[in-house]
Structure 1
Amino acid sequence: MLRSDHANMPIRGNSAFSIRLMLLSAVTALTLLALGAFGWNAAGAWQRYQAARHTQEFDAGVNKFIAGLFEVLQSTFGAHFVEVGVSPRFR
């Protein structure tokens, strides 16, 4: 009967290499997931920033328009009230 004694054989380097490869793969996958989440969050923040900036520009334009309209109405009705002899409330 042939006897094979595997207990005295040294451990091969392949098993250590595969564990190292698995750990490296897991760390790489987690790093890629973290970078993806960071990129997704950064893209959403950039879109919110652009929307807020657009809203500020729109509000500034609307405020300029309203100020001009108020000035025109004030000068028009102010002249009319002066001609009639009534003092306007908004002066």
Structure 2
Amino acid sequence: MKKDRTVLTEELTVMLLFILVFVSFETTSLAQTLAIKLLIEQPSAHKELNDEHEEIIRTRENSESSVTWKEYKSMAFTLQVNF
């Protein structure tokens, strides 16, 4: 990193080290880490995800129940983010 011409910035190095810790355990962790990173960088996407999930919870009869198949299939934006 101390060379004049390097592609690694301090921010990129920290991010790669952070990802490496999770990758060493399993690939699902990498996907989750990248999803969180990208959502942090896109506050509008994060807000839309929260709004979608809060709407589903608001319309439930029991707000403490787990996600139903119908609710899962109704998460249009969440499904786009996941894939």
Same fold (TM over 0.5): no
Which has the larger share of helix?
1
TM-score (normalizing by structure 2): 0.27
Larger radius of gyration: 1
TM-score (normalizing by structure 1): 0.26
